[in-house]
Amino acid sequence: MLRSQIEELEREAHAAIEASRSSSELEQLRVAYLGRNGKLTQILRSLGQIPAEQRKDVGFEANRAKGRLEALFESTLAAMLEAERRQQRQRDRLDLTLPGRRPPRGAVHPLTRVHDEIVAIFGGLGFSVAEGPEIETDFYNFEALNIPKDHPARDMQDTFYLSEDTLLRTHTSPVQIRTMRAAGGRTPVKIIVPGRVFRRDVPDASHSPVFHQVEGLAVDRAITMGDLKGTLELFAREMFGPKSRIRFRPSFFPFTEPSAEVDVLCFMCGGAGCRACKDGWLEILGSGMVHPRVLRNGGYDPEEVTGWAFGMGIDRIAMLKYGVDDLRLFFENDLRFLRQFA
């Protein structure tokens, strides 16, 4: 009885193996016939229930059938895996006759481009790049720059305070003090300070809580406002074109005296007046002679040396240079906008 069951089971397994179409289907059949609870395994477990004189012959037949099925499963699986690999290679085959796909060309971000231009222009004038921490102390951000705690100028800069004495810097000017102190009274000092600054502004077309500035500082013996004007005139010609002109307007900054706002002749209308400039001029930066108190805080004697400084917004320069009318475009990472600078 068991011998005929074994023969029938082997024929059934052979037919199922020949009909299988994938390695996964073949594995399921192997488990069904030869697995722990497979059909042939169940027969082998039931050998103890037959008479002892038949047990040896039936066991021999069952084990021989198991060996034949294992060999058949193994050879069929190897052939099936090889066929599947060939099919996969065919699917993945590269058609070398197809035209190539050129990878999309990236572009330097417009703010990075303007940053690099500014650094290159002032680098050509002998200025080195200085850096400072974005988390600053109240002393370096305000007090050392002639802005004591009760000074009304603090109202002009809505500040992110992290504690009573630490804050996110509202301008790059603290690096002026750090650089002068590190110089130990030596001259000349000529630096520019590009970097991120932070103010509590609501984002709109012309304001952002995070923006970028470049601070410039020169300290030496007997340098004047005329040196400042000549430096900024050269910068304007390099940045906006050889026909650019600048004008100084009196202003007020706590850390410079005298102070001046600097405008550049509108390069869109040539000074005739347009929607961008209204009166033919575009404001680009603030500047002035370093206040004697600031020089003292930096470790210099204002009776012996003088200095001048300026500060400009990289974002504003980029808006003017590229005709961008919304500051938020620089921070939204819209590829349609950025591709224009490729």
pLDDT digit string, tens, across residues 232-288: 999 999 998 888 899 999 999 999 999 999 998 887 676 677 766 677 888 899 999
Phi, psi values for residue 220, rounded to 5°: -165, 180
DSSP string computed for 247-305: EEEEEEETTEEEEEEEEEE-TTTTTS--TTTSSSEEEEEEEEEEPHHHHHHTT--TTT-
Q: CA 77: distance to chain centroid?
A: 49
- Using alpha carbons, list the distances in angstroms from residue 251 to 288, 289, 292: 9, 12, 17
Q: How far apart are CA 200 and CA 214, in angstroms?
A: 19
Three-state DSSP at 178 gives helix
- Using alpha carbons, list the distances in angstroms from residue 340 to 107, 123, 322, 334: 9, 28, 10, 11
Computed over every residue of the chain, the mean pLDDT equals 87
User: Is the model's pTM score more than 0.75?
Assistant: no
Residue 196 scores a pLDDT above 80: yes
Measured between alpha carbons, how far apart are the two ends of the chain, in Å? 83
- Using alpha carbons, list the distances in angstroms from residue 246 to 145, 221, 229, 263, 340: 26, 26, 9, 5, 29
Q: Which of the residue ranges 11-15, 126-130, 151-155 would you say has the lowest mean pLDDT?
A: 151-155
What is the number of residues in the chain?
A: 342
Which strand (E) or helix (H) includes residue 130?
A: none
Tell me how crowded residue 224 is: count the other CB atoms within 10 A of its CB.
11
Looking at the structure, give the CATH architecture of the domain made up of residues 110-341: 2-Layer Sandwich (3.30)
Residue 47 scores a pLDDT above 80: no
The pLDDT, as a whole number, for residue 14 is 79
Q: How far apart are CA 254 and CA 293, in angstroms?
A: 10
- Which of 283, 288, 282 has its CA nearest to residue 260? 288
Tell me how crowded residue 40 is: count the other CB atoms within 10 A of its CB.
22
Q: How far apart are CA 183 and CA 205, in angstroms?
A: 40
The pLDDT, as a whole number, for residue 157 is 64
Q: How confident is the model at residue 53 (pLDDT cuts 50, 70, 90)?
A: low
Q: How confident is the model at residue 115 (pLDDT cuts 50, 70, 90)?
A: very high
- What is the crossing angle of helices 110-123 and 314-322, to 10°? 110
User: What's the token pair of residue 37?
Assistant: 């609870």
Q: How far apart are CA 72 and CA 67, in angstroms?
A: 9
H helices present in the chain, as ranges? 2-19, 23-34, 39-45, 52-92, 110-123, 138-141, 174-183, 225-240, 292-297, 314-322, 335-338
Q: Please give the average per-residue pLDDT across 164-192, as a whole number.
A: 94
The pLDDT, as a whole number, for residue 102 is 85
Q: Count Cβ neighbours within 10 Å for each residue of 102-111 and write b for 16 or more, e otherwise.
A: eeeeeeeebb
Tell me how crowded residue 156 is: count the other CB atoms within 10 A of its CB.
12
Q: How far apart are CA 277 and CA 266, in angstroms?
A: 6
Contact 195, 216 (CB under 8 A): no
